Amino acid sequence: MTIRIYNSLSRQKEIFEPVENNKVRMYVCGPTVYDSCHIGHARSVVVFDMIYRYLNARGYEVFYVRNFTDVDDKIIARANEAGVSCDEISEKYIKEFHKDMASLNMVSPTMEPRATAHIDQIVNIIAILVKKKYAYVVDGDVYFSVEKYPDYGKLSGRRLEDMVAGSRVEIDPRKQNPYDFVLWKASKPHEPQWDSPWGKGRPGWHIECSAMSAEYLGQTFDIHGGGKDLIFPHHENEIAQSEAAFGETFVKYWVHNGFINIDQEKMSKSLGNFLTIQEIVKTWHPEALRLFLLSNHYRSPLDYTDQAMQEATAGMDRIYGLMGRVAQYLDQPLIRRYGSDGQSALADKTETGRLFLEAMDDDFNTARAIGILFDTVRNINRLIDADEAAKTRASQEQIVTEAVDIFKIGKILGIANLPPDVYFQQKQEKGTGLRKIDPSWVEEKIRMRKQARQNKDFAAADRIRDELLALDIILEDRPGGTIWKMKQ
RNA sequence: GGCGGCAUAGCCAAGUGGUAAGGCAACGGCCUGCAAAGCCGAUAUUCUCCGGUUCGAAUCCGGAUGCCGCCUCCA
């Protein structure tokens, strides 16, 4: 069994073989911390979170680095606007980022290095590039000379000549080639600055990733990830810098996730359709967002709409509804079995497990994997329908086995691992909070309806149910009593 | 101008040579006082269009049309 990964560099799926047998070194470009995270960040982070979890579950020892870019023009601009220091801006948004990640049930990377904590390493690499004549110095700035690096363009599939022909890039007279990019920038008086052989300055954007990845993962590592938009120029430049400086292959597998559109439009601040993670999580359950984000293949574009979130919510309700049903059906808590089975993080003994592995091994095909998950949900529901009254030993065993598969799959996708009542509770709180509904009022209505039903006054009972439904409250009359759920 | 991607039921979506997963919605049935939830059933003779290769193509090749992304900070 082998994993195949689509490599942006070769433009095809390749068999995954890490540099060092069962160890995986992975670097993912993290955010520039000058603003709140939006759903695009969420997709990227969820995708690599899933990849990280899956590789771990497949038995690899994964060293996962995700950086913070905490020195940058945009941060400086923000700091100047607000009249505070750059550190204050970046601190604020790093904290917010961590909060957002926690709300989305994201696993922490092994390390989260910051650019400003690696100035020495950055200066060192630039010094090597200058010494090897890949870079040149102009008035305290240092530029990388793209013409000196023959492979420039190999990741993005473009040749220097073509680009220059159709270029819209402003010509900077100090650059030898318009596509030369800055490694070190001379600082203006009130900007963050560090000493360097070329005078006081700060690092350019691309060099930090070359420096930090080399520091923690070595000069060659396995997976480098990020959004598709980073292919050019960011990742192209990283390759040029790192390979020019170290003379080694930089990265074996380049992995890039596709973009998110909102209502079929490109998300942008000027269009005003910029959705932050915090806004989304106010309305929708975080696991619905994860399910939505993983319901498409990670390289495809993905269109965010309310309907899509509604559907994802219905999907999560279905999964947790089943989990709750299983818990009620079983004589023993499911979690006990799961705990004892927890060692093997991956279901590979069952048919479900095998199908799941097959899907995920094929370039992390979560869309297919989710299909398998729903197949399993239906199958368990069917089994319980057939056996609810009898609760035979054999049937319980089978149901437990399948339910454990759901747990395990959920663990890799980062969903379906809450106790079901907690999930519905959270949804209820979100829903009632948004609509300013008092839960005790709902309970009171349910009591009134129960009374009416006992009196066989079904008209009155149905009136109450309709009243609640108008507020997106759905009632379910179960053997043990009536429960209520929020629609979204 | 250069580079790349996509087109599958009402909607979302998997499938990359062997006879169309899954989800949402809608419809019929079981269940229910009626619902909801759950289950069952029927829903694409067909995968944008036109050619070609093949015993066989949604899948490969050529062409057309349409949509989209990148080439500038961007997940």
User: Tens digits of per-residue pLDDT, A351-386?
Assistant: 999 999 999 999 999 999 999 999 999 999 999 999
* CATH 3.40.50.620, chain A: domain bounds: 4-266
Distance from residue A291 (CA) to nucleotide B46 (C1'), in Å?
29
Tell me the nt nearest to A231, Cα to C1'.
B70
pLDDT tens-digit readout, A378-414: 999 999 999 998 999 899 989 999 999 999 999 999 9
Say whether pLDDT at A180 is over 90: yes
- Beta-ladder partners of A38: A276
Identity of residue A243: E
The reply to whether the CB atom of residue A257 sits less than 7 A from any atom in nucleic acid chain B is: yes
Residues sharing a CB contact under 8 Å with residue A75, sequence separation 6 or more, in sequence order: A32, A33, A34, A86, A89, A90
Radius of gyration of chain A (CA): 27
In A165-301, the DSSP E strands lie at 181-186, 201-203, 221-227, 251-257, 260-262, 265-266
CA angle (A60, A369, A55) in 5-degree steps: 10
Distance from residue A158 (CA) to nucleotide B2 (C1'), in Å?
8
Measured CA to CA, the distance from residue A348 to residue A345 in angstroms comes to 9
The reply to whether the CB atom of residue A374 sits less than 7 A from any atom in nucleic acid chain B is: yes
**Which pLDDT value is given to residue A343?**
45
Distance from residue A372 (CA) to nucleotide B24 (C1'), in Å?
16
**Which pLDDT value is given to residue A331?**
78
Nucleotides of B under 7 A from a protein CB: 1-6, 11-15, 21-25, 32-40, 68-75
Residue numbers in A 25-44, CB below 7 Å of strand B: 29, 31-32, 38, 40-41, 43-44
Read off the pLDDT band of A18 (50, 70, 90): very high
Average pLDDT for A327-342: 65
Nucleotide B67, nearest residue via CA and C1': A264
**Which pLDDT value is given to residue A336?**
55
Average pLDDT for A296-314: 95
The reply to whether the CB atom of residue A177 sits less than 7 A from any atom in nucleic acid chain B is: no
Average pLDDT for A114-120: 97
Please check whether residue A424 is in contact with residue A485, taking contact to mean a CB–CB distance below 8 angstroms: yes
Strand, helix or coil at A253?
A: strand
Which of A93, A131, A134 has its CA nearest to residue A114?
A93
The reply to whether the CB atom of residue A165 sits less than 7 A from any atom in nucleic acid chain B is: yes
- Beta-ladder partners of A12: A7
Average pLDDT for A147-169: 79
Distance from residue A365 (CA) to nucleotide B58 (C1'), in Å?
19
Q: Give the DSSP H/E element, type plus range, for residue A162.
A: helix A160-165
**Which pLDDT value is given to residue A162?**
76
Upstream peptide bond of A233 is cis (omega within 30 degrees of 0)? yes
The reply to whether the CB atom of residue A13 sits less than 7 A from any atom in nucleic acid chain B is: no
* CATH 1.20.120.640, chain A: domain bounds: 304-418
The reply to whether the CB atom of residue A66 sits less than 7 A from any atom in nucleic acid chain B is: no
List, in sequence order, the alpha helices (H) in A178-276: 207-217, 236-246
Say whether pLDDT at A271 is over 80: no
- Among A186-190, A346-350, A439-443, the range scoring the smallest mean pLDDT is A346-350
Average pLDDT for A22-39: 95
Residues sharing a CB contact under 8 Å with residue A112, sequence separation 6 or more, in sequence order: A30, A65, A66, A67, A68
**Which pLDDT value is given to residue A342?**
46
The reply to whether the CB atom of residue A234 sits less than 7 A from any atom in nucleic acid chain B is: yes
Read off the pLDDT band of A168 (50, 70, 90): low
The reply to whether the CB atom of residue A478 sits less than 7 A from any atom in nucleic acid chain B is: yes
The reply to whether the CB atom of residue A469 sits less than 7 A from any atom in nucleic acid chain B is: no
Measured CA to CA, the distance from residue A120 to residue A98 in angstroms comes to 26
Say whether pLDDT at A313 is over 70: yes
Distance from residue A371 (CA) to nucleotide B14 (C1'), in Å?
8
Mean pLDDT (chain A) is: 92
Measured CA to CA, the distance from residue A29 to residue A220 in angstroms comes to 16
pLDDT tens-digit readout, A463-478: 999 999 999 999 999 8
**Which pLDDT value is given to residue A269?**
72
Strand duo A251-257 + A221-227: pairing:
parallel
Looking at residue A232, the DSSP 8-state letter turns out to be: I
Residue numbers in A 388-447, CB below 7 Å of strand B: none
- Domain A4-266 matching CATH 3.40.640.10: the answer reads no
Read off the pLDDT band of A223 (50, 70, 90): very high
Class of domain A304-418: mainly alpha
The reply to whether the CB atom of residue A225 sits less than 7 A from any atom in nucleic acid chain B is: no
Say whether pLDDT at A167 is over 60: no
Average pLDDT for A140-165: 87
